[in-house]
Structure 1
Amino acid sequence: MPTSQACQLESPAVSEQILQDVFGYQTFRLGQQAVIEAASDGKDCLVIMPTGGGKSLCYQIPALVRDGLTLVVSPLISLMKDQVDQLLANGVAAACINSTMSRDEMLATFQAMEQGELKLVYVSPERVMSRDFIDRLAAVPLSLLAVDEAHCISQWGHDFRPEYAALGVLKQHFADLPVMALTATADETTRQDIISRLALTDHHEHLGSFDRPNIRYTLQEKYKPMAQLNRYLSAMHGQCGIVYCNSRKRVEQITESLCKGGIRAAAYHAGLEHDERAAVQEGFQRDDIHIVVATVAFGMGINKPNVRFVVHYDIPRNIESYYQETGRAGRDGLPAEAVMFYDPSDLAWLRRCLDEKEEGAQKQVEGHKLNAMGAFAEAQTCRRQVLLNYFGEHRDEPCGNCDICLDPPKRFEALEVAQKALSCVYRVNQSFGVNHVVEVLRGMQNQRVREHGHDKLTTYGIGREHSHEFWVSILRQLVHRGFLTQSIVRSSTLQLTEKARGILRGELSLELAVPRLDTTARNAKSDKLANRQYDKKLFAKLRKLRKAIADEEDLPPYVVFNDASLMEMAESLPTSASEMLAVNGVGHRKLEKYGNVFMEVIKDHLTAGEELLY
């Protein structure tokens, strides 16, 4: 549907019609429609959706419903360009403003904005806050401000950026402009900070599930990591993936080793020249490079749907980063894997790096988050439960799709040890962290315990028969199961939840995992992808056609169609326009542009199959 038509429609079904006609999807994902309707009605919105959950549609569809221009604040040039390419491919008038543009290109974009020729413009937070840009916006009919990666606004977020924190000032300049804040990673403290800093009023809030059920989370003991990585990549031959490392030197060493072994890999880190980084990112987007070995500098701008795995060669610094980085796998909803190689000495190295930083609130935040990451790596509880619990989403049932579920640790009746642990947290007035509680439980004689009089408590020494590591594991499991919380705003102190009452009163039974004091190597390989019912030979032909078209049009292949759409074609075998429109990801514009050539390949494939039968 042309954008001018979209703006003239006023029926309640307009957003659904745009979803189908412009973007080619048949139904909304959970939560999308309510957000879109609230934004279309001019309400502020806070949208928390997992990576790949469809956040961009939450502001792109209102942009087509409402009169005027939607301004999207985005942190990376590559991310802006990718979004604009996909919008243009769907027939939507969109542009971006960034430092790579010439002065003439910028002036032409400003003119198009002022004349109402654009529906969406992407811009960086630094530029949108400049005096000159704000003055220019005064001449533009604005309909919506969308702030992507909104966790960067909060001092409690894992990626705080001062330039983001200033965005709330825009409300002073454009008081009636509805604002939508979007992110995949924000705990309760971060969410409240976003609302306050952006001055969201009477807002609609969507807190989507943080669960990505198609991703299998696996941790392996790190003993011969390069050999482990080679074995894993051999098993994933032909699939696209990312390998994350904590240092530039390691990135380069691993890339060199992989290339010598015949694997198409490329390095990416902030120390490389801009053109070199851009070439790697473009090669990966276009399937010319299968494996990117990178520091955390790589990824936020990656909107590639067919990443099948993410490997963490080193443990990340916080759960938010881990969640975002693993979330780059399986954005198309197909099975994907997240594998981490874990060595406790890597965690110790990160702690030493943190110790060297200046004291202050930011160091406290980073310390809390690093401890939570360590707890995840050493968890004896379903990894998905640990992740979801961290973001305030509690699940009672294990997921069945992580290494803990697939290779479960031994379990034991844990009511008594849980009562000891919870009672000790209570006796120290819920004012201390894990290590101090463990020291009291084990009856340790040290200055801090004596200073607070905790050697006189009834819980002092009641757990001395167990090791320090045992009690740390028990306390972490109680956090993961929702009986305890750790407050980031109170120096990671342990606090009882309402759920703990039943344990302390002996009203509940409780099983916990026997602590694995040595992490056992586990490697679970997903075979769901191989079991999907579609014609794999036809899928290969469709991918080849897609790559040829993408190269000719100078686009990433997934902008033509993503893997999920091609699999659906190889499954449903559409040979007419109506059948092709029924495929998710095929809208009217893409049908008109690409439909016939893809249907020709399908028809030829079916004809060849019939000839073989005779």
Structure 2
Amino acid sequence: MPTRTSGDGSASGDGSGGVRDRCERAARRLLGLDELRPGQLDAMTSLAEGRDTLVVMPTGSGKSAVYQVPALVLPGPTLIVSPLIALQRDQVEALRRQRHDEKATSVDASTPAGRRAATFEALRAGETEFLFCAPEQLARPDVVRELAEAGISLMVVDEAHCVSAWGHDFRPDYLRLGAAAEAIGRPVIAALTATAAPPVREEIVERLGMRDPLQIVRGFDRPNITLSVRRELSDPADALVAAVLEQPSPGIVYTATRRRTTELAGRLAEAGLRAEAYHAGLRRAERDAAHGRFMAGELDVVVATSAFGMGIDKPDVRYVFHSEIPGSLDAYYQEIGRAGRDGDPAEALLFYRPEDLALQRFFTGALPDAETLEQVARAVADAGGGKGKGGVERKVLCERVGLSARRLTTLLDLLQRSGAVCLEARRVTPVAGGPGPAEAAARARELAERHREIERTRHEMMRRYAETLDCRRRFLLAYFGEDLGEPCGHCDTCRAGTAREPARGEGPFPVHAQVEHATWGPGEVIRRDEDRLTVLFEEAGYRELLLETVVDQRILRETGSR
């Protein structure tokens, strides 16, 4: 179940005043931050005291400062794992402009061998404080070896939701990071993200191997963004173009497919707007050029798949529209959060057709077949002689089973969770006394089936958001574990007068109550309306239950409160 997160300004709590004061002084002296935002100092203090820390804060709320200050307090250099090379370079330049002398640099696949060697030499010599790299770099034995020798004191995982298979931008390369942290000497871990629902936060902690982490969750509410949904009976292209023309520029339109980006960008260009398409199928140079023009104010609108937006911090985006329903509220919140970062009014409009949900269910993907899982488990077991020793290099294993590194990483993660294999930065070893290949494959398949069922509940929550007549902002915040209390007053349902006041008075199963279901197991109430409950179950995902049925048939047992 989701653990209790910090929301009251307390960090470690025991004699941390000295460290806290040092962090506050360092923030003022080195970064010029005279006033810290809520949660920043708690996170800084926690990390500076050597405690793993998960920070969930909106983009623009100062997550970079959260790691920069303790990095300068802790001895030893800092490693920042970031998913986008362009974002890494932006962060390096920003650090170099700061008023301290510590050097920041990055390494990626295009870094020449000579410069790479010089970078790691400077890191070992203490001449470089901040090193940025993509998660793929930590699959390289030479990089892991260099980082271990450098004595990394703080490992920062940016966009940490990418660690989670629950997350809206799951990347298997992130699954290696827990093993990589151990291989480089297990520094303090800081996990940063702008959005993570409770199950995503728990999976981040588990997969990174975080130890008793402080969780700081702040500021999901973005009251300057107006939330609206338009239900459509046919293709909403005409309505979307008309709606875009009514908005001030710039803006972003998200679509579900690459073909749709080109189609809508063409329609918007014909209407007189400076519009371009963006998706992962374009050449890198084309994507970079579109990104650069958008950031420079040379485009009115970008029509994009979910490939566009991570790491973009353009403050004046006035709207984010969706031409189809996204697969989850996690993805939706992340994408609409790119609007209105300057604090001025912005619009988030979703065009909704129920049939579009079928496309999102398709994107959930097929289950891995048991035969392939057993083949991988057997190859690992054979390499270890069946005794849990030795193991096999990941690259060699790819060749033996004939799978891509990306696909293999996903299957190995399932097999590790089934108790059959142990994943290290470079090698995979069988677990002594673990299940045999056939049993491991069956367990892994069961885990995958459970995950797919949970994904379906996330699709259902997205559908409920699109169809609710209640306050949309309350619904969205409840999904992330925050209780707004009152209707917001300015989403489309509030303006239409359909939003209801929240349930009042004493009653069973309040928000954050811990409950137990005979079939679905333990869970937590995340929303309580007059006639129904929404419960997040550990093993069954999000479920909506009629309160009368719950009470009359006693299908839930309250076990405590968070």
What secondary structure does 1:217 align onto?
Answer: strand
**Alignment pair present for 1:338 and 2:348:** yes
Residue 319 of structure 1 contacts residue 372 of structure 1 at CA under 8 Å; is this kept in 2? yes
Whole-Å Cα distance in 2 between the matches of residues 266 and 246 of structure 1? 16
Could you tell me the TM-score, scaled by structure 2's length? 0.71
* Alignment: residue pair count: 443
**Alignment pair present for 1:490 and 2:521:** no
Residue 264 of structure 1 contacts residue 291 of structure 1 at CA under 8 Å; is this kept in 2? yes
| 1:266 corresponds to which of 276, 286, 298 | 276
Map 1:277-316; keep pairs closer than 5 Å: 277-316=287-326
Whole-Å Cα distance in 1 between the matches of residues 82 and 355 of structure 2? 36
Change (3 A) 1:431 1:406: same
Report the counterpart of residue 15 of structure 2 in structure 1. none
Report the counterpart of residue 548 of structure 1 in structure 2. none
Report the counterpart of residue 537 of structure 1 in structure 2. none
Report the counterpart of residue 49 of structure 1 in structure 2. 57
Could you tell me the TM-score, scaled by structure 1's length? 0.65
| 1:76 corresponds to which of 84, 97, 103 | 84
Deviation at 1:491, TM superposition (A): 5.8
Q: Tell me the amino acid that sits aligned with residue 485 of structure 1.
A: V
Residue 450 of structure 2 contacts residue 540 of structure 2 at CA under 8 Å; is this kept in 1? no
Report the counterpart of residue 169 of structure 2 in structure 1. 159
What is the alpha-carbon root mean square deviation over aligned residues? Answer: 3.5
Deviation at 1:293, TM superposition (A): 0.7
Whole-Å Cα distance in 1 between the matches of residues 498 and 155 of structure 2? 48
Moved more, 379-388 or 92-101: 92-101
Q: Tell me the amino acid that sits aligned with residue 272 of structure 1.
A: L
Report the counterpart of residue 95 of structure 1 in structure 2. 105
Moved more, 309-318 or 344-353: 344-353
Q: Tell me the amino acid that sits aligned with residue 387 of structure 1.
A: L
Moved more, 345-354 or 283-292: 345-354
Moved more, 210-219 or 158-167: 158-167
Q: Tell me the amino acid that sits aligned with residue 228 of structure 1.
A: A
Deviation at 1:113, TM superposition (A): 1.8
| 1:408 corresponds to which of 497, 505, 516 | 497
| 1:322 corresponds to which of 329, 332, 338 | 332
Deviation at 1:284, TM superposition (A): 1.4
Deviation at 1:71, TM superposition (A): 0.5
Identity of aligned residues (%): 38
Deviation at 1:367, TM superposition (A): 1.4
Report the counterpart of residue 201 of structure 1 in structure 2. 211
Whole-Å Cα distance in 2 between the matches of residues 368 and 413 of structure 1? 23
**Alignment pair present for 1:219 and 2:229:** yes
Residue 220 of structure 1 contacts residue 340 of structure 1 at CA under 8 Å; is this kept in 2? yes
**Alignment pair present for 1:229 and 2:240:** yes
Deviation at 1:235, TM superposition (A): 2.6
Whole-Å Cα distance in 1 between the matches of residues 346 and 200 of structure 2? 28
Report the counterpart of residue 5 of structure 2 in structure 1. none
Report the counterpart of residue 181 of structure 1 in structure 2. 191
Report the counterpart of residue 28 of structure 1 in structure 2. 36
What secondary structure does 1:483 align onto?
Answer: strand
Change (3 A) 1:20 1:332: farther
Change (3 A) 1:386 1:482: farther
Residue 81 of structure 2 contacts residue 156 of structure 2 at CA under 8 Å; is this kept in 1? yes
What secondary structure does 1:87 align onto?
Answer: helix
Deviation at 1:318, TM superposition (A): 0.8
Residue 485 of structure 1 contacts residue 496 of structure 1 at CA under 8 Å; is this kept in 2? no
| 1:390 corresponds to which of 464, 474, 479 | 479
Deviation at 1:486, TM superposition (A): 4.3
Q: Structure 2: where are the runs of 5+ without partners?
A: 1-17, 369-447, 509-514, 555-562
Change (3 A) 1:45 1:497: farther
Map 1:183-582; keep pairs closer than 5 Å: 183-222=193-232, 225-237=236-248, 239-351=249-361, 354=364, 360-409=449-498, 483-487=533-537, 489-490=539-540, 492-494=542-544
Deviation at 1:134, TM superposition (A): 1.0
Residue 69 of structure 1 contacts residue 120 of structure 1 at CA under 8 Å; is this kept in 2? yes
Q: Structure 1: where are the runs of 5+ without partners?
A: 1-9, 420-425, 433-474, 505-614
Report the counterpart of residue 551 of structure 1 in structure 2. none
Whole-Å Cα distance in 1 between the matches of residues 272 and 55 of structure 2? 43
| 1:60 corresponds to which of 56, 60, 68 | 68
Q: Which has the higher contact order (CA 8 A, sep 6+)?
A: 1
Change (3 A) 1:490 1:339: same
| 2:128 corresponds to which of 94, 118, 127 | 118
Whole-Å Cα distance in 2 between the matches of residues 193 and 269 of structure 1? 28
Deviation string for 1:506-543 (max 9, x for gaps)?
A: xxxxxxxxxxxxxxxxxxxxxxxxxxxxxxxxxxxxxx
Residue 145 of structure 2 contacts residue 184 of structure 2 at CA under 8 Å; is this kept in 1? no
Whole-Å Cα distance in 1 between the matches of residues 461 and 47 of structure 2? 35
Larger helix fraction of residues: 1
Q: Tell me the amino acid that sits aligned with residue 106 of structure 2.
A: C
Residue 430 of structure 1 contacts residue 494 of structure 1 at CA under 8 Å; is this kept in 2? no
Q: Tell me the amino acid that sits aligned with residue 101 of structure 1.
A: T
What secondary structure does 2:118 align onto?
Answer: helix
Deviation at 1:227, TM superposition (A): 3.0
Larger strand fraction of residues: 2
Whole-Å Cα distance in 2 between the matches of residues 109 and 286 of structure 1? 31
What secondary structure does 1:360 align onto?
Answer: helix
